[in-house]
A and B are shown apart, each in its own frame.
Chain A
Amino acid sequence: MPLIGAPVRRVEDARFLTGQGRYVADLTLPRMLHVAFLRSPHAHAGIVSIDAHPARELPGVLACITGDEIATQARPMRAESRMAGYHPTECPPLARGKVRFAGEAVAAVLAESRYTAEDALELVDVRYATLPVVGTPEAAMAGGAALVHEAAGSNVLLTRAFVQGDVDGAMRDAALVVGDRFRFHRHAGVTIENRACLADWNPGVGELTLWSSTQVPGLLREGLAALLDLPVHRLRVVAPDVGGGFGVKSALYPEEVAVCALARLTGRPVQWVADRREDLLTSTQAWDETIDAELAVNADGTIRGLRARVVADVGAYSIHPWTAAIEVVQVISFLPGPYRVEHYRGEAWGVATNKAPMGPYRGVGRPVSTFVTEALVDRAARRLGMDPVALRLRNLIRPDELPYRSPSGVVWDSGSFVESLERARDAAGYEHVRAEQERARRAGRYVGVGVACYVELTGVGSAIPASPGAAISTGTEGATVRVDPGGTVTASFGLACHGQGHETTLAQVVAEELGARLEDVRVVSGDTAAGPVGTGTYASRSAVIGGGAAILAARALREKALAIAAHLLEVSADDLTLGDGRATVRGTPHRGLTLREIAGAAYAGAKRLPKGMEPGLEATRFYDPYFGTASNATHIAVVEVDPETCAVIVRRFVVVEDCGRIINPLIVEGQAIGGVAQGVGAALLEEVVYADDGQLLTGSLMDYLVPTAAELPAVEVVHLEHPSPTTLGGFKGVGEGGTIGAPAAVANAIADALQPFGMELSELPATPDRLFRLLSRPRTTSSPETP
């Protein structure tokens, strides 16, 4: 039975189920110190003085280090980009001169225990001179606004636009233009494991090891080497078991730089484990955009043009290496979605404020772009009296139009846009749901149906930077596959894993391509010292790029193993098959050699190998999908809104997704549903709130609401499996999609439910409070139908 495509149960589960996982907080080293960071209580303030003496006096405290002191050990981060209209800014490991958001670290206390380190924080006396707080992009762009980064000369850190055709003309000539100001509020990733890191300096060999709860050990190694003035080969970055990432752990953080510097400074291992408050204060946040968008359509529902102005609140720092452009430029790149949009203009502004930095989060930009475009499509359908599914079917890019170049220049290599919508419509029993909705309305219940279609770029190769203009290469990954002397197989990758199940899926790929037994393959990743050069796991890339590298390496190895076996068995390699860990002579099954025997010969050397063959049984291959590929899906949500409490209940959720050739359907389903859960949370509950003075009001999980099992429906997932025509293996990425479609589907369902009130929804999350205010507003359109 082929392994690729089989619902193999995960090999990593055994350790997690028994409490034997090893996350950073579980690691200890001899003589290890614990660091606690003193965090600014002000959102914007000059640092006048820091008196660390009393803190240093506390028994058990080794040191208290300030921004000026650590500056001799580590350079500030500076996220560079080739993008015109981008101003790079600096981010120090500990604040120097001034603080730019509440929660920024100003000093680090090193002590024998975390308890003692936190005691000492209370003894550090920092005098601040508060500065005017830049609270919103509007305030930041106003004349005379205080500057978050004086060196940038402006709070607008970036501008970018994509233009195709004559959008203004299209708007003028269209039968109908629908538009609105949309708002998607700030979001937090909330991995259940908070960020954590541990650094150890070995002065004997001048080598630094960092264990970090990160998605990107490779990126960290390169970034840190430059900041710490260490050659790359003197740095090792390890991501052990990591308790969730979702993009939040894909940037280089100041704390990671700091613990490295502090370990080198003190000569002792230094560990930092964030608590939840620190996580909510300082981990990168997402979205926070205001979008003025208009869609022009013909009377028959054909889309003519789309134009949008997107302003993003990027927070206080431009994160390394993705820059402050990561989120907002993706919004304007993907606003046209899977539709034929002839005329397009998308303009973006990234504006600095005194808030935590904005970073990549599952879906990056596309949850927002999909929310906006799908809302406009629904509004156009309503105004034209068309069914929203029918209007979409009219405009979705058809298979015969692929490859299709989108108005922002992205090329969709493949896609089943029409098919996924039709299948979702059928799976949801759309007609039936509409009939139910009618009945419910007559009974005074407000049920709504929301559809969302999207396409996403995944497995991005070297032709397209994973972040707009970022000065790093993210288009390749490598795999080293080795048949060990005992016949087992070790496959190592530059990828890192934080829940995706690579130890299972990549083993399935290697085992099948090589012809090994699945249980003999061990996947090693997340350690820069153990695998080929790579960056890590983000942007739905691992199955495509890592999987591609695995295929290449395994095939090379298979060929060599067969050549060795042919030599030893004195047959032609063409007469051999290799499967289940054994090379067998075709038609003579009892004649053959196991991988163990072949490996024995390979490592024994020239005597047992074909003339001239290099000994060993190991191959390293790299893969670059060049452009990458496209995954797509349709989501349908059925919700009920209680007009009394304004609570929204998601009754049903249907996903029809196409991630190309599936490696493991269990894991694809898990990724899709997990993504939907985050998208539903984003649509209904989750919002980072800052007060006007820049204080975070959602600093605990009592204030920042993550969905529990009770708020989520059972999600129905249908897989379409159209292999990518452009990637090796036909795989497409699946990690992010769930979060891209769900907010839009839920928002459209709520808007649909509220039609009797003549209300449109243009702001997410649709919290009860927000819906209450919306429903209490004087009605501008039709009055509610009386049942």
Chain B
Amino acid sequence: MADAVTVRLTVNGVEREGRCEPRKLLVDFLREDLGLTGTHVGCEHGICGACTILIDGEAARSCIMLAVQADGAELLTIEGLMRDGKLHPLQEAFREHHGLQCGFCTPGMLMTALDLLRTNPSPTEAEIREGISAVLCRCTGYHGIVRAVEAAARKMR
């Protein structure tokens, strides 16, 4: 076991610090050391997308990154998506269009959709499907999710 190192980063606008082994995955650091369990682990090998967060504004998989690699970075996790106690338009739209069932993929799906709309504010249905194909949902068949992203895009424009 290597000596613990200090990791300092900004999560959801708040400066956070923790000590962990250099080998610790970023997602485990978020969940275990910072208590942010909204980011989920579905595969630990970079495929399912459940662990997706924004790192310096871009979607990234926190299961294939070490916490030490995120030292100094600015992170946005699902816990930071609400603003002033109000749901983000994407969150609203997921509820309105039944874009979730078990909720396990939902945090990664929302962060991915957020990234999609940042880079493409008016996506077509095909572009939405392509964009969210980075995250696996086993419950919904993606139907409600696609509708929700369409609706949120309209609202956010």
Q: Give the interface of A toward B (CB within 8 A).
A: 9-10, 12-23, 25-26, 59-60, 115-116, 119, 190-194, 241-246, 273, 275-276, 498-501, 666-667, 669-670, 673-678, 700-702, 706, 708-712, 714-715, 738
Contact = CB atoms under 8 A, between A and B. Distances in A.
B1 A59 contact: yes
Interface stretch (B54-62, B64-72, B125-133): B125-133
Contact of A192 (B45, B102, B125, B143): B102
User: Which of A191, A666, A678, A701 lies at the interface centre, i.e. has the most chain B CB atoms within 10 A of its CB?
Assistant: A701
B5 interface: no
B43 A709 contact: no
Contacts of A674: 101, 138-141
Contact of B82 (A18, A119, A244): A18
5 contacts: A17-B94, A670-B143, A673-B144, A701-B47, A701-B136
Nearest to B41: A25
Contacts of A275: 43-44
Contacts of A710: 129-130, 133
A676 to B, nearest CB: 6
Given A19-B78, A192-B137, A701 B45 contact: yes
Nearest to B126: A710
Contacts of B37: 19, 22-23, 25-26
Interface string B18-53: 000101100000010000111111111101101000
B95 to A, nearest CB: 4
B139 A499 contact: yes
Interface in B118-157: 125, 128-130, 132-146
Contacts, number: 182
Contacts of B39: 19
Nearest to B96: A9
- Give the dominant DSSP class at B's interface: loop
A18 B91 contact: yes
A666 B98 contact: yes
Contact of A702 (B21, B31, B45): B45
Contact of B138 (A21, A26, A192, A273): A192
B102 A499 contact: yes
A9 B95 contact: yes
A500 B102 CA distance: 7
B128 A19 contact: no
B141 A667 contact: no
B136 A706 contact: yes
Given A16-B106, A115-B24, A499-B101, A676 B141 contact: yes
Contacts of A192: 40, 42, 48, 50, 102, 104-105, 136-139
Contact of B45 (A676, A677, A700): A700
Contact of A712 (B44, B134, B141, B144): B141
A708 B96 contact: no
Nearest to A13: B95
Nearest to B125: A714
B101 A20 contact: no
A709 B146 contact: yes
User: Which of B95, B105, B125 lies at the interface centre, i.e. has the most chain A CB atoms within 10 A of its CB?
Assistant: B95
Contacts of B137: 192, 709
Nearest to B108: A192
**7 nearest A-B pairs in the assembled complex, by CB-CB distance:** A19-B38, A16-B103, A243-B104, A677-B141, A499-B102, A499-B101, A19-B78
B142 A712 contact: yes
Contact of A700 (B47, B101, B103): B47
Q: Could you say which interface size class chain B belongs to?
A: 35 or more
A193 B101 contact: no
B100 interface: yes
A25 B36 CA distance: 12
A567 to B, nearest CB: 42
Given A15-B103, A26-B37, A500-B101, 13 more contacts: A13-B103, A16-B106, A17-B94, A18-B79, A18-B81, A18-B87, A21-B103, A194-B41, A670-B144, A674-B139, A677-B140, A701-B43, A709-B129
Contact of B95 (A10, A59, A677): A10
B43 to A, nearest CB: 4
Given A9-B96, A26-B37, A674-B101, A193 B42 contact: yes
B38 A20 contact: yes
B1 A193 contact: no
B102 A243 contact: yes
A565 to B, nearest CB: 35
User: Which of B23, B78, B102 lies at the interface centre, i.e. has the most chain A CB atoms within 10 A of its CB?
Assistant: B102
Nearest to A501: B101
B141 A673 contact: yes
Contact of B133 (A13, A115, A700, A709): A709
A673 B138 CA distance: 11
A364 B125 CA distance: 33
A17 B100 contact: yes
A520 to B, nearest CB: 20
A244 B139 contact: yes
Given A192-B136, A243-B40, A677-B141, A115 B103 contact: no
Contacts of B95: 9-10, 13-14, 17
Contacts of B145: 709
A708 B102 contact: no
Contacts of A700: 43, 45, 47
A235 to B, nearest CB: 25
Contacts of A193: 40, 42, 102, 104
Nearest to B107: A19
B96 to A, nearest CB: 7
Contacts of B94: 13, 17
B110 interface: yes
A673 B140 contact: yes
Contacts of B144: 670, 673
B132 A709 contact: yes
A709 B128 contact: yes
Given A18-B78, A18-B79, A708-B133, A246 B138 contact: yes
Nearest to B102: A499
Contacts of A59: 1
A714 B47 CA distance: 23
A211 to B, nearest CB: 14
A545 B129 CA distance: 37
User: Which of B1, B103, B107 lies at the interface centre, i.e. has the most chain A CB atoms within 10 A of its CB?
Assistant: B103
A242 B101 CA distance: 10
B112 to A, nearest CB: 10
Nearest to B87: A17
A22 B102 CA distance: 11
Nearest to B79: A19
B42 A194 contact: yes
A711 B77 CA distance: 27
